[in-house]
Amino acid sequence: MQTSKKPEPRSYLFVPGNRPERFSKALLAGADAVIIDLEDAVPPDEKERARDAVLDALNELAGVYVRINGAETKWFADDIAACAMHQAVKGIVLPKAAGVDTLRAIASRSHEGLTILPLLESAEGFNALDTISAAPRVGRLMFGTIDFQLDMGMMGDGEELAYFRSQMTLASRLAGLGTPVDGVTTALDDAAQIEHAARRARRFGFGGKLCIHPKQIAPIHLAFTPTDDERAWASRVLQAAEASAGSATVVDGKMIDAPVIQRAQAILAAAGSAQ
């Protein structure tokens, strides 16, 4: 359950757990949050070595997230034992989240301030969406779009995934969680494509996006920051509402009411937190 009033991270940058020389660089890359990855980025024969490298570096990496190996793997228990109680670890990213028992097990073996971010990457995970959202310590839901497409036999992450994005937003809202986080875009040098994907996620009610390279951070932040036109519109709405003293009024040829005013307030609040 989300309790913090601080702005939610817009970008989560992955860094491989077996590349400790990149940890500090990742923290300086400009992302709102950094995830040290012990799962997909690390070959099986380097798992233990990567975990040791992360432990050695954690005292210098306060506030990072760690993506552990899944509950079905032989590394899961040791990953939890090593990372979940360490005060430098802000949160655990659980891949292939599929049930509440695993989330409860992590919560019971973690320090008091730790947040759990379940990655929904399978049909089984979406089938348990409501119970996952209500599990202890869960702060935000993350969408593992690439693995999910593979599991479902789907092709494309646009309209093909619209229903599932909507369900994540709905479940997050009902459970009182932060806004969900969209999956990675594999393009590294196409800023327009990355921004387009992030803006699409924002339209679905998402508040952040996973990224795999520092080049992706700027377009993601741009997408999740209100534009000049949006800020100008919001200012006009609030000025008109104040001037009308509660009476019906019109802005840009459209009637404004309480939901429109609240939307304008949210835009200006988001613009302020992005400064």
Same domain, 169 and 250: no
Domain boundary among 191, 208, 223: 223
Same domain, 240 and 218: no
Give the pLDDT score at 35: 98
Q: Is residue 218 part of a domain?
A: yes
Give the pLDDT score at 3: 39
Domain boundary among 206, 223, 240: 223
Same domain, 143 and 267: no
Q: How many residues does the chain have?
A: 275
Same domain, 150 and 26: yes
Rounded distance, CA 102 to CA 136, Å? 11
Same domain, 87 and 200: yes
Domain total of the chain: 2
Same domain, 169 and 215: yes
Q: Is residue 148 part of a domain?
A: yes
Partners of residue 255 on adjacent β-strands:
250
DSSP state for residue 186 in the 8-state scheme: -
Residue appearing with tokens 């996952």: 132
pLDDT along the chain (275 residues), means of 10: 65 97 95 97 97 92 94 96 95 96 95 97 97 97 97 94 98 97 96 96 96 97 83 78 76 79 75 63
**Cα(first)–Cα(last) distance of the chain, in Å?**
26
Q: Is residue 255 part of a domain?
A: yes
Where are the alpha helices (H) located in 20-74, listed in sequence order?
23-27, 47-57
Domain that holds residue 202: 11-223
Rounded distance, CA 31 to CA 33, Å? 5
Same domain, 131 and 262: no
Q: Which two tokens stand for residue 3?
A: 């309790």
Same domain, 135 and 101: yes
Contact between 133 and 174 under an 8 Å Cβ cutoff? The reply is: yes
Report the largest interatomic distance among the alpha carbons of the chain, rounded to a whole angstrom: 68
Burial class (CB in 10 A: 0-12, 13-18, 19+), 170: middle
Give the pLDDT score at 273: 60
Give the pLDDT score at 18: 96
Contact between 200 and 158 under an 8 Å Cβ cutoff? The reply is: yes
Q: Is residue 115 part of a domain?
A: yes
Rounded distance, CA 258 to CA 243, Å? 15
Q: Is residue 4 part of a domain?
A: no
Q: Is residue 1 part of a domain?
A: no
Same domain, 175 and 240: no
Q: Is residue 239 part of a domain?
A: yes
Rounded distance, CA 85 to CA 82, Å? 7
In 3-state terms, the chain is what percent helix, strand and coil (to 5)? Answer: 50, 15, 35
Same domain, 255 and 218: no
Q: Is residue 6 part of a domain?
A: no
CATH classification at residue 135: 3.20.20.60
Give the pLDDT score at 232: 76
Of 206, 170, 110, the C-alpha closest to 93 is 110
Contact between 2 and 176 under an 8 Å Cβ cutoff? The reply is: yes
Same domain, 54 and 159: yes
Q: Which two tokens stand for residue 40?
A: 């997909």
Same domain, 210 and 249: no
